[in-house]
Amino acid sequence: MSLAFWLVQTLNALALGGLLFLLSAGFSLIFGLMRIANLTHGAYFMLGAYVGLSVLDASWGFFAAVLLGSLAIAVFGAAVQRFILARLGDRVLAQVLVTLGLSFIIADLCLMLWTGDPMQLAAPAVLSRPIEFYGYVFPGYRVFVVAVSLLVAVLLWFLIERTRLGAMVRAAVDDMEMARGMGIRAPRLFTIVFCLGCALAGMGGVLGGPILSVYPGLDAEMLPLALVVVILGGIGSLLGAFIGSFVTGFIYTFGQALLPDFAYVILFLPMIIILMFRPEGLFGEKSG
């Protein structure tokens, strides 16, 4: 296999890693703050992609698609958090059932509205031009996805580490009771973070559309990938989600290129190894 093959696969792996980061960063943030495993996250990713598709069909352009896709999911997620999840307190089984139930509802609704045929989101012509670099040609859109995910990572880092809102989130993650005692309004914080996490999932869906295309079952494929990322990196850790995403992106992409039948199984080897030696994940904190 030639060098070009490896280079292009590397770019593919980076692009998939970027998409996984958009998906799992939100999942991880939500879990870190609220201890809710949001099993609807894969469905939000898919719904975002479908919304983006419809916006593209209305020919409002790709950037409107990304914007509206994330916005729609953010609003939907905020409603779910405020009207359902907030009432459940810390009843884990109830949260699992509700988020899972919602993911089934969304998946079936998408099947109803957008039919069962796989559909491709068209990347804008400006971005899909091939990029030439030292004589090798790269698909431009993937470079764009990697750049966007890196930008989001930096913005998220800034938000969490350098702003007042981020300080409140960190305080609430560390010690919820104390944070409340200091006057932090936890319910509002929950809604904001949930909203943000959902928006990222929706955005990931639209950006992923031109690469992965959209089809029924995309949700069921993305959710376990996000779980693997989060288990690898440590639940609740943004850095963990970042590293975990790219590790997973590389393993999955090269697994699929070299051993197509077993790509799915290979994906679980690092997870199992991590669980054996560091059950809390690479950057997770020991609980209990």
- What are the residues facing 214 on neighbouring strands? 119
Type and span of the H or E element at 288: none
Q: Is 259 in the site for other proteins (CB under 8 A)?
A: no
Using the rule CB under 8 A, which residue among 79, 105, 126, 147 binds other proteins? 105
Q: Is 66 in the site for other proteins (CB under 8 A)?
A: no
- What are the residues facing 133 on neighbouring strands? 136
* Interface region with other proteins, contact rule CB under 8 A, candidates 94-102, 116-124, 151-159, 243-251: 94-102
User: Within 13 Å of residue 283, how many CA atoms lie on the same side as its CB?
Assistant: 15
Q: Is 108 in the site for other proteins (CB under 8 A)?
A: yes
Q: Shortest approach of other proteins to residue 275 CB, angstroms? A: 4
CA 137 to chain centre: 28
The stretches of the chain forming alpha helices (DSSP H) are 3-34, 41-57, 62-83, 92-114, 125-128, 140-162, 164-174, 176-181, 186-212, 218-233, 238-258, 263-266, 268-277
* Residue nearer to other proteins on the CB measure, 70 or 256: 256
Contacting other proteins within 214-253 (CB under 8 A)? 220-221, 223-224, 227-228, 230-231, 235
The count of residues interacting with other proteins (CB under 8 A) is 46
Location of structure tokens 């031009």: 129
How far is it, in rounded angstroms, from Cα 44 to Cα 219? 8
Q: Alpha-carbon dihedral of residues 88, 92, 98, 100, nearest 10 degrees?
A: 160
* Residue nearer to other proteins on the CB measure, 47 or 168: 47
Q: Shortest approach of other proteins to residue 214 CB, angstroms? A: 17
Using the rule CB under 8 A, which residue among 11, 23, 33, 37 binds other proteins? 37
Using the rule CB under 8 A, which residue among 97, 126, 147, 258 binds other proteins? 97
How far is it, in rounded angstroms, from Cα 236 to Cα 239? 9
- What is the contact surface with other proteins in residues (CB under 8 A)? 31, 35, 37, 39, 84, 87-88, 91-94, 96-98, 100-105, 107-109, 112, 220-221, 223-224, 227-228, 230-231, 235, 260-265, 267-268, 271-272, 275-276, 279
